[in-house]
Chain A
Amino acid sequence: MSTSIQNISLSGNKKQVSNKEMTFLERLYLIAIVKGLWITIKHFFKKKATIHYPEQVRPFSPVYRGRHMLKRDEQGRENCTACGLCALSCPAEAITMKAAERKPGEEHLYREEKYAEIYEINMLRCIFCGLCEEACPKDAIYLTISKELVPAQYHREDFIFGKDKLVMPLEMAMANTKKLN
């Protein structure tokens, strides 16, 4: 049996519209209003869709690019050598840094002889494209690890994130090392 194309309803929601006169009861609208009130009151008791953001965070996708993080290696040393390739690759020119030489006795802090004394990312400029992550030869900068958004601030200066906010916290590095062993 073949159905004509007019009668096919793939969604199952197809309704025939008609232009016929409304009956007296329909024209009173009172029944329709009561029906509407019933629909809205059902929503009143429904489970709310809201996620209470700062207290409740939705799980991020594993490839979500959020706040940057400067990684530490398994011994807790900073990976970054301040080569500047991330800054060079950055299309938004959000990254600046100043290199310094590692002094004797600082080997437990920095992995190589050169490290970033100052490392700043302007979060207002950053477009979270992840090119810095791709450019980094030392596996130092990642956008997918922190699983955090950049929070709102009142002043422009507060959006320039220094090493205090960017470097991976020691506890996290320790936990990672433990997981490896």
Chain B
Amino acid sequence: MESAFIIEKSVFIVVIFAFTMIMAMYSTWAERKVAAFLQDRVGPNRAGWGGLLQPLADGMKLFAKEEFEPNTKNRFLFFVGPAIAMSTALMTSAVIPWGDKLHIFGRDVILQATDIDVSLLYIFGIVSVGVYGIMIGGWASNNKFSLMGAVRAASQMVSYEVAMGLSIIALLMMTGTLSLKQICIDQPGMHWNVFYQPLSFLIFLICAFAETNRTPFDLAECESELIGGYHTEYSSMKMGFYLFAEYANMFISSTLISVLFFGGYNYPGMAWAVEHWGVNIANVIGIGALFVKLCFFIFFFMWIRWTIPRFRYDQLMNLGWKILIPLSIANIIITGICILAFK
């Protein structure tokens, strides 16, 4: 392996890491702004222009807060919980194709940290490990409310992962690959998968809401019954890690939805742009296109939050097991029939 390759990849990884962190940070700001705007308020506007320094202030506050620990039997697990939640949230961005390639210093720089054949499986694997962060944190808190919150979050995530995986299978049957890069290449221009697999998209979207523990499925946090859910006993930056991981997950889910169903970095006229304006400009616009798409989905997550009231727990389980899973299986069968009929 040549050293230039290693440098290229490390720089890229650092950039992606920083980008994920900044996106997660500014998601918190966007969340408060969107929440405020949807409720006819103006939101944070004191720290910096339009409150743009608010996430920095929040981060500083979390760092400066007193580190409180419950009298728990297992301090190690108490520390490991938020660490797992945070690292799994950050690891998924490694296989996202942010663009096709750039041509810098006479080299082709692939805009993806690593293009593994099973990147979709990799993401699903990492996301399921994320459940451990919540479960371990709730368990190690030595608090029944935390444990109940963790059990709720974990069972919800586990049951929606099934429907999520099944909804993706229909898509895989169509694209015939697990590599996100290939899936991106297969939907040039406006040939987005969402037009061929609307049901799969809908199921995936609903499951993404459940996976990230967001409204209407935010049952893990519940002031009236469970106080703060699994992070009740956490304070300072450990608490910050859990909240941060949630926003990083939201960012990754939005990116994944844009890549799987909305063409990723593709935009109409990309081939023309490559021909006439060169690879670099065309791909920078491509990154911009992906950014716009994922920002829309982050906004959509927040928009839904202020529109739909939360589910009751039995309704949540009914929706997951009795509706979404049969629906995604039906989708697989329909897709199979269509593939047989049209190819």
Contact = CB atoms under 8 A, between A and B. Distances in A.
Interface of A: 33, 36-37, 39-41, 43-44, 46-50, 52
Contact of A40 (B41, B42, B307): B307
A33 B42 contact: no
A49 B41 contact: yes
Interface stretch (B32-40, B56-64, B83-91, B278-286): B32-40
B156 to A, nearest CB: 19
A37 B38 CA distance: 10
B308 interface: yes
Contact of A50 (B38, B41, B303, B306): B41
B304 interface: yes
B40 A40 contact: no
Contact of B40 (A33, A39, A49, A52): A49
Contact of A44 (B37, B42, B45): B37
B304 A37 contact: yes
Contacts of B307: 33, 36-37, 39-40
Query: Main SS of chain A's interface residues?
Result: helix
Interface string B15-42: 0000000000000000000100111111
Interface string B199-235: 0000000000000000000000000000000000000
17 contacts: A36-B308, A39-B307, A40-B38, A40-B306, A41-B38, A41-B303, A43-B37, A43-B38, A43-B40, A44-B37, A44-B38, A46-B40, A47-B40, A50-B40, A50-B41, A50-B42, A52-B45
A41 B302 CA distance: 11
B322 to A, nearest CB: 13
Contacts of B41: 48-50
Query: Main SS of chain B's interface residues?
Result: loop
A40 B37 CA distance: 9
**Number of chain B interface residues as a range:** 10 to 19
B38 A33 contact: no
Contacts of B306: 40
For the complex of A and B, 6 pairs with smallest distance between CB atoms = A36-B307, A40-B307, A50-B42, A44-B37, A49-B40, A48-B42
Contacts of B42: 48, 50, 52
A53 to B, nearest CB: 11
Contact of B303 (A37, A47, A52): A37
Contacts of B38: 40-41, 43-44
Nearest to B305: A40
B1 to A, nearest CB: 49
A49 B34 CA distance: 15
B55 to A, nearest CB: 21
A114 B306 CA distance: 64
A140 B127 CA distance: 72
Interface string B38-74: 1111100100000000000000000000000000000
Contacts of A40: 38, 303, 306-307
Given A40-B38, A50-B42, A33 B308 contact: yes
Contacts of B45: 52
A94 B254 CA distance: 59
A40 B36 CA distance: 11
A43 B303 CA distance: 11
A52 B39 CA distance: 16
A34 to B, nearest CB: 10
Interface string B293-323: 0000000000110111000000000000000
Nearest to B39: A43
Nearest to B41: A50
Contacts of A48: 37, 40-42
A48 B43 CA distance: 10
Contacts of A36: 307-308
Q: Which of A33, A41, A44, A50 counts the most chain B CB atoms within 10 A? A: A44
A93 B307 CA distance: 51
Nearest to A30: B202
Given A37-B304, A43-B38, A49-B41, 12 more contacts: A33-B307, A36-B307, A37-B307, A39-B307, A41-B303, A43-B39, A43-B40, A44-B38, A46-B40, A47-B40, A49-B40, A50-B41
